[in-house]
A and B are shown apart, each in its own frame.
Chain A
Amino acid sequence: MNSLLIPGGNVPAPTRETTREPLDEPMKTNGEQSSVLTLSKVGKSFGNLRVLKGIDLQVQRSEVVCLIGPSGSGKSTLLRSMAFLEEYDEGAIRIEGQLLGWQDTDKGRRRAPQAQINQVRRNVGMVFQQFNLWPHMTALGNVCEALRRVRKLSAGDAKQRGMAMLDKVGLAHKAEAYPAQLSGGQQQRVAIARALAMEPHIMLFDEPTSALDPELVGEVLQVMKTLAKEGMTMVVVTHEMGFAAQVADSVIFLDQGEIVARGTPRQIFHNAEQPRLQQFLQNYLDRNAFWQDAKG
Chain B
Amino acid sequence: MTFDPSIFTDHLGDIGLGFLVTLGTWSSGVLLGLALGMLIAVAQVFGNNLMRVPLRVFIELIRSTPFLVQLFLVYYGGPSFGISLDPIPAGILGLGVYGGVYFAEIFRTGFQSVARGQLEAADCLGITRLQSIWRIQLPQMLVMILPALVNMVTVLCKETAVLSIITIPELTMVLTGIGSETFAFVETLLMLCIGYLILVELCSRLGMFLETRVGRFMSRQPR
Binding site for B on A (CB under 8 A): 83, 85, 114, 118, 121-122, 124-126, 128, 130, 132-136, 145-146, 149-150, 178-181, 191, 194-195, 198
Contact = CB atoms under 8 A, between A and B. Distances in A.
Contacts of A136: 136, 139-140, 218, 221
Given A114-B128, A136-B139, A181 B221 contact: yes
B127 A149 contact: yes
A128 B120 contact: yes
A70 to B, nearest CB: 23
Given A145-B135, A178-B221, A181-B222, A132 B120 contact: yes
A83 B123 CA distance: 9
Contacts, number: 71
A103 to B, nearest CB: 18
B125 A146 contact: yes
B174 to A, nearest CB: 46
Interface residues of B, number: 23
A130 B115 CA distance: 10
Contacts of A150: 125-127
B120 A149 contact: no
B219 to A, nearest CB: 11
Contacts of A122: 126
Interface in B106-145: 115, 117-118, 120-129, 131, 135-136, 139-140
Contact of B118 (A134, A178, A195): A134
B120 A85 contact: yes
A201 to B, nearest CB: 14
B128 A198 contact: no
Nearest to B131: A149
Contact of B221 (A132, A145, A179, A194): A179
Contacts of B120: 85, 126, 128, 132
A133 B140 CA distance: 13
Nearest to A85: B120
Contacts of B140: 134-136
Contacts of B220: 178
Nearest to B143: A136
Contacts of A124: 124
B142 to A, nearest CB: 10
Contact of B125 (A85, A114, A179, A195): A195
Contacts of A114: 128-129
Contacts of B123: 85
Contacts of B222: 178, 180-181
Nearest to B121: A132
Given A132-B118, A180-B222, A180-B223, A145 B129 contact: no
Given A124-B124, A145-B125, A149-B131, A180 B221 contact: yes
B19 to A, nearest CB: 39
A114 B221 CA distance: 33
Contacts of A134: 118, 121-122, 136, 140
Contacts of A149: 127-128, 131, 135
Given A114-B129, A136-B139, A149-B135, A85 B124 contact: yes
A128 B221 CA distance: 22
A118 B131 CA distance: 14
Contacts of B223: 180
14 contacts: A85-B123, A122-B126, A134-B118, A134-B140, A135-B221, A136-B136, A136-B218, A136-B221, A146-B122, A146-B127, A149-B131, A149-B135, A150-B127, A180-B223
A124 B123 CA distance: 11
A85 B120 CA distance: 7
Contacts of A85: 120, 123-124
B115 to A, nearest CB: 7
A8 B222 CA distance: 41
Contacts of A178: 220-222
B134 to A, nearest CB: 9
A134 B124 CA distance: 14
B127 A145 contact: yes
A258 B50 CA distance: 35
A255 B135 CA distance: 40
B218 A128 contact: no
A195 B121 CA distance: 9
Contacts of A194: 121, 125
Interface in B198-223: 218, 220-223
B138 to A, nearest CB: 10
Contacts of B128: 114, 118, 149
Contacts of B125: 145-146, 150, 194-195, 198
Contacts of A181: 221-222
